[in-house]
Chain A
Amino acid sequence: MPQLNPIRIVIIDDNFRETNPLVITLKEKHGEENVRIFRRPDEGVHFVLNNLSSKIVVLLDMDLGAHERKGDKVFDEIRSNTSLVTIIIMSANLLTLNNETLRGFINNHAFSAINSNDPVKTNLPIIETAIDQLSLRVDCALEEWILHHPSDEREKPYLTIRTGEKYSLDQILTEIRLNTELGIYLQKGIIRVAVELLARQKESLKNG
């Protein structure tokens, strides 16, 4: 079995400090090195996009300071590159988010919205649920499986579809990350294969 990649928790917030009780608790649970705080959104996005081989939960603050982009723009930037990162929206005042922004979050699968002023006992279970969900997703499992291959193998043509287009494992990964029609088809296919193999196993146990 391949070694499972650890969960990484990325906090993009200009006010979060290492001494924040939520940060301390998350580091205790998931390891010091797996919880990263970025005050500047560019650095946070850069880190996320360069670590797509890890399972990542992003805690994204909506108000990143006067000179920075708003959180919803950062959200869009991450989502345009991958649908596999789980994003939790954070704000000190959730009521200030306008309808259009909220609609964008829901339509693009923001996992949850939390109030950054709420106590750890309120916010931690939401973050832990997001982490559990990430482990249960077939797309994430596939991503992990693909990234387990050596990079030169991932670049070779792996599948040709009926239009004649060839896809390497890396390109398949992109299709999965961006949730394209092919990406969804391949994910459904893998679920079918898993169910079929499980059913066969059950049958052979019965007959054996």
Chain B
Amino acid sequence: MVKLLVAYDNTDPELGFYFSSCYQDICDHALLCGDFQISELNSLHNATHLQSAIGDFQAMPFLFVAYTHGREDAIVLAENEIVHLQNAYFFGESFVYTCACRVGKELADSLLSHNCRAFIGFSNDSWLLQADDYVATFRLCENYGIKIFMEGGKTIEESFQSMVKMYTAKFDELVEINAFAASTLLDNQYALVIKTHGNGHLTLADFISA
């Protein structure tokens, strides 16, 4: 059993629909992949709920995925800072994966200094051009790394590299159709960061708990 905690801002006026679709996508994938125990935090929840959810894991390893807005020092769920420098220590033995803007800077460093095993996210503003047809492309790219990792065959580092390759492949497709949309995808790709403190070799097997 792998514990998977997902936070998503389903009521955000601009991106709620997108965050919700990412959440659905990851849940569907977890079902396909097998043995996951999914816990959910949505826009009704705050940092106390997060603490309680992680407390239930009883110090076992877990995956944390966030589809929310973000800042350099916080992951923000419906205007509540749910992950910040003061509660980063909750994330020992976790793998944090997020599409939130800018979190890959100060907060990622703080998480890793508190024994978070690995972080994948964005170091800058991540943009989304909805252009209807392209939403699926952006979601595919943003979720690709964690989905590959959940399948169990690849390490954290290999999953990240697969995601970068997917961004490149989708950029090549998009640039033929809409150069502005392609530029935004490229912008997001450039903002991707992975931080592992030497844990890049870990696989899903390292996150299995009772």
Which residues of A does B touch, CB under 8 Å? 158-164, 172, 185-186, 188-190, 192-193, 196-197
Contact of B183 among A161, A163, A189 (CB under 8 A): A189
Given the complex of chains A and B, what is the CA–CA distance between A189 and B179 in angstroms?
A: 8
A193 touches B182 (CB 8 A): yes
CB <8 Å contact, A158 and B131? yes
- Listed residue (B130, B180, B186, B190) with the most chain A CB atoms within 10 angstroms of its CB: B180
A186 and chain B: residue at smallest CB distance: B180
Residues of B at the A interface (CB closer than 8 Å) are 14-15, 127-132, 171, 175, 178-184, 186-187, 190
Inter-chain CA distance A186–B183, complex, in Å, is 8
User: A196 to B186, Cβ gap below 8 A?
Assistant: yes
Q: Given A196-B171, A196-B186, A160 and B129 touching (CB < 8 A)?
A: yes
Number of A-B contacts (CB under 8 A): 49
Contact call B178/A162, Cβ cutoff below 8 A:
no
Q: Could you say which of B14, B15, B131, B175 contacts A159, with CB atoms under 8 Å apart?
A: B131
In Å, the complex CA distance between A185 and B181 comes to 12
Note all chain A residues with C-beta closer than 8 A to B179: 189-190, 193
Q: Which residues of B contact A186 (CB under 8 A)?
A: 180, 183
Give Cα A186 to B179, complex, Å: 9
* Most chain B beta-carbon contacts within 10 A, residue among A158, A162, A164: A162
What secondary structure prevails in chain B residues at the interface with A? helix
Closest Cβ–Cβ distance, residue B123 to chain A (whole Å) = 16
Question: Of the candidates B130, B171, B186, B190, which one forms a contact with A160 in the assembled complex, judged by CB atoms under 8 Å apart?
Answer: B130
How far, in Å, is A160 (CB) from chain B's closest CB? 4
Q: With A190-B179, A192-B183 as given contacts, are A162 and B15 in contact (CB-CB < 8 Å)?
A: yes
Given A158-B180, A162-B14, A189-B180; 17 other pairs, CB 8 A cutoff:
A159-B178, A159-B180, A160-B129, A160-B131, A160-B132, A161-B130, A162-B130, A164-B14, A172-B180, A189-B179, A189-B184, A190-B179, A192-B186, A192-B187, A193-B175, A193-B179, A197-B175
Instruction: Give the distance to chain B from A151, nearest Cβ to Cβ, in Å.
Output: 19
Chain A at the B interface: mostly helix, strand, loop or mixed? helix
Q: Is the CB of B186 within 8 A of A189?
A: yes
B173 to chain A, nearest CB (A): 13
CA distance A189 to B129 in the complex (A): 12
A160 partner residues in chain B, CB cutoff 8 A = 129-132
Q: For A163, A188, A193, which residue has the most chain B Cβ atoms within 10 angstroms?
A: A193
User: In this complex, what residue of A is CB-closest to B130?
Assistant: A160
Residues of B within 8 A of A164 (CB): 14, 130
Which residues of chain A have C-beta atoms less than 8 A from B129's C-beta? 159-162
Ordered by A's residue number, 10 sampled pairs between the chains whose C-beta atoms are within 8 Å are A160-B132, A162-B129, A163-B14, A164-B14, A188-B183, A189-B183, A189-B184, A189-B186, A192-B186, A193-B175
Q: Give the Cβ gap from B189 to chain A, nearest Cβ, in Å.
A: 9
Q: How far is the CA of A24 from the CA of B171 in the complex (A)?
A: 49
When chains A and B are docked, how far (Å) is the Cα of A186 from the Cα of B171? 16
Distance in angstroms between the alpha carbons of A172 and B183 in the assembled complex:
14
Nearest 8 A-B pairs (CB), nearest first? A189-B183, A160-B130, A193-B183, A162-B128, A160-B131, A159-B131, A162-B14, A186-B180
Q: Is the CB of A158 within 8 A of B178?
A: yes
Complex alpha-carbon distance, A159 and B186, angstroms? 16
How long is the Cα–Cα vector from A96 to B186 in the complex, in angstroms?
A: 50
User: Which residue of chain A is the closest to B128 with respect to CB atoms?
Assistant: A162
CB distance from A83 to the nearest CB of B (A): 19
Task: Please name all residues of chain B whose beta carbon is closer than 8 Å to the beta carbon of A188 when the two chains form the complex.
Answer: 183
Question: What separation, in Å, do the CA atoms of A129 and B171 have in the docked complex?
Answer: 36
